[in-house]
Structure 1
Amino acid sequence: MMLSPQLHKILAVAFFLLPFCAQGTFAGFLPFKHFFGGGTNKQQIPDPVPVEGNENGDTVHQLEHRISRLEGVLRLNKMITESGGKIFATNGKKADFDTTLEKCKEAGGSIATPRSPGENDAILYFVKYFNTYAYLGIKQSLIPGKFQLLNGAQPNYTNWYSNEPSGKGEEECVEMYTDGTWNDKKCNKNHLIVCQF
């Protein structure tokens, strides 16, 4: 069975957040195991109503319904945001730049890289909520003081803080401040992990 790109993204987000929910709850709200069935907790979301017709169509419809509910729970618990067709997610943990890249890749995504004011705001939501900085998927190019996307392309959108970047080649990574502006920084600081899918 072929999943739509949106379903694929939501499943990747769910697996990224799974270790965060290993204790059995999303921030004390909903037992995770109940979302996928099983258990008898009264907070359990009821199973979807079976649909008449094609078995594959029924399965896809039920998956879409369950994923839609998961998306709602994740939004309610401030775990995902959306903008520009991308889903941004955090597990609330911090890491250095290389570990952030690795964790996002393991989850089937990439480090958050805003390409518009709306996407910047989607990442800023987490930065404000957790009151901490986050790395972005932008690094210094071979030319000191010049920055590029991780694929080598020049960014179409930037939101540098006044007089930034200022590292003059010594600060190779980019962090987002709690006001949404960017700063060049060394890559060894622990910042909030924010991935995009």
Structure 2
Amino acid sequence: MKKFAKVSLAASVAGVTLFGAVSAFAASSAILITGKVEDAICNIQATGNASGNSLVLPTVFKTQLNTAGATAGATGFQFALSGCPATGSVSAYFESSNVDPATGNLLNRAVAGTAAENVQVQVLNADGEVIDLNTNTNNVPVALDASGNASLSYSAQYVAQGAAAGAGDVDTALVYTVRYQ
């Protein structure tokens, strides 16, 4: 690109010198930006096995995660939504930060030396289907009731990733925002 720019500049200077003033035309374009401003924001409360902003998975034995893909410790949690717009549907949109791009699971961010090896955390929808956190595949919206309330049910579980799990700590974070449809 720089080489082309230098050649173009040299050609323009030569053209002006040899032939007088040269007109230049630039292509124009536009970016269409759209959005929406909602009339209300939902009140969100983590309920079920989640306390405040924490969900503690049960302690499991590494023998339960002794092969790649084995899962254990599924623990349900809900988001109780109130004060939302009274029409449409809602879901928790899971951000792809802290997510393995290859698996769509949450990465184990426990301190090196204490972390359980080959362990990630999967998030599942109310039907027990794994949600790919890179794309939100299988993250099904729930209809809001006439009062603007809804309950979003999920669960989280350990998964052995790539090989049998090693003993240790698991520490991760699930980042989400509420999405209206």
**TM bracket, shorter-chain basis:** under 0.3
Higher relative contact order (CA 8 A, sep 6+): 2
Q: TM-score, normalised by structure 1?
A: 0.24
- Structure with bigger strand share is 2
- Structure with bigger helix share is 1
Query: Larger Rg: 1 or 2?
Result: 2
